[in-house]
Amino acid sequence: MGGAVCKLSSKINQQVKRRSSGCKYTCHPQCRDRVSLDCHQNGSATDGPHSPLSQDHVNNNQDTHADVEKERELRTHFSREEIQHKVNLYNVATRDHLKMTLHPNGIYTGFIKVQLELRRPITVRGGGAAGPGGVRSSSSGGGGGEEAFHLPRGSVNTLHVSSTNTVRQVIEALLNKFTMADNPAKFALFKRCRREEQVYVCKLSEQEQPLFLRLQAGPNTDTLSFVLREQQTGEVMWDAFSIPELANFLRILDKEEQDHFSAITHRYDNYRQKLEEALKAVGGPG
């Protein structure tokens, strides 16, 4: 039996020793005609240009080109000529007449749309100025003419900004537009991008410039859009809230604690009742 195994192993080794002289690819002799290679020796290809390896090389070139394009998108500065070219392309592509303007000092101005996705009510100075669709909260705790409003989720607002305006300034402009008394630190601006049927949401740093991102992406909001949300840092910044807001939080926490306590008490009362019924059924001590 051992001799048969050795003979079979020797036969396989002889077959595997068929190699390409260029790339040292090994295969069985009977499989050679089914293999297409793109190995090079002394600068010449041993097989045709349409081999699988040749196609992989083309794909690699395409990937490299895509990486270059991606790197280009990450640039944070353009020359004046590049800006002028992009502004012209943007104005041709826009369909809502919200065009950009390049000024002689190199600063360009334009419009961005920001979608509001706020879960908590906002505090409005003077009351009644929460904007279209604003709903007054029944638990208004503001003093000195301040009232709490729930803004409709998904409403979109348009701001006229310049290329020098940062994310922090855009957030402050939105708050001023709604006469909101809330601390700007309570909010964050996100960008929503769509690539290959996938939607990505990324928080912007306070020093980024939204209009620059808008110019890069073009006017299509499916490609890039801006969203205002509450901060999602995981750590509550209590100093960003007013005294009436903090008092409301305490009342909500007290109510949640009482509800949770009542639920636990009711649950164990049911357990006690079922245990007592089971003991009576088996004739235990009652």
Residue 102: per-residue pLDDT: 94
Residue 136: per-residue pLDDT: 44
* pTM value surpassing 0.85: no
Which has the closest alpha carbon to 14: 1, 24, 27?
27
How far is residue 83 from each of residues 38, 170, 188, 216, 266, measured CA to CA in Å?
44, 21, 27, 10, 67
Residue 16: per-residue pLDDT: 44
| 190 pLDDT above the threshold of 90 | yes
Confidence of residue 183 (pLDDT cuts 50, 70, 90): confident
Which has the closest alpha carbon to 155: 222, 228, 97?
228
User: Are 134 and 111 in contact, with CB atoms under 8 Å apart?
Assistant: no
Question: One-letter amino acid identity for 201?
Answer: V
Among 49-63, 247-261, 272-286, which is the least confidently predicted range? 49-63
pLDDT tens digits for range 95-130: 888 899 999 999 999 999 999 988 888 888 765 444
| 226 pLDDT above the threshold of 80 | yes
Q: What gap in Å lies between CA 74 and CA 65, rounded to an integer? A: 15
Residue 93: per-residue pLDDT: 93
Residue 273: per-residue pLDDT: 92
Residue 18: per-residue pLDDT: 56
Residue 25: per-residue pLDDT: 57
Residue 97 token pair: 């007449």
Question: One-letter amino acid identity for 104?
Answer: P
Q: For 35, which DSSP code?
A: -
| 272 pLDDT above the threshold of 80 | yes
Check whether domain 74-121+147-230 has CATH 3.90.580.10, yes or no: no
Confidence of residue 264 (pLDDT cuts 50, 70, 90): very high
CA 113, chain centre distance (Å)? 17
Question: One-letter amino acid identity for 30?
Answer: Q
Question: Across the strands, what pairs with 158?
Answer: 113
Q: If you average pLDDT over every residue of the chain, what do you get? A: 74
| 198 pLDDT above the threshold of 60 | yes
Residue 234: per-residue pLDDT: 59
Residue 185: per-residue pLDDT: 86
Helix (H) or strand (E) holding 252: helix 243-281
Q: What is the percent of the chain where pLDDT is above 70?
A: 63
DSSP 167-223: HHHHHHHHHHHTTB-S-GGGEEEEEEEEETTEEEEEEPPTT--HHHHHHHH-S-TTT
| 265 pLDDT above the threshold of 80 | yes
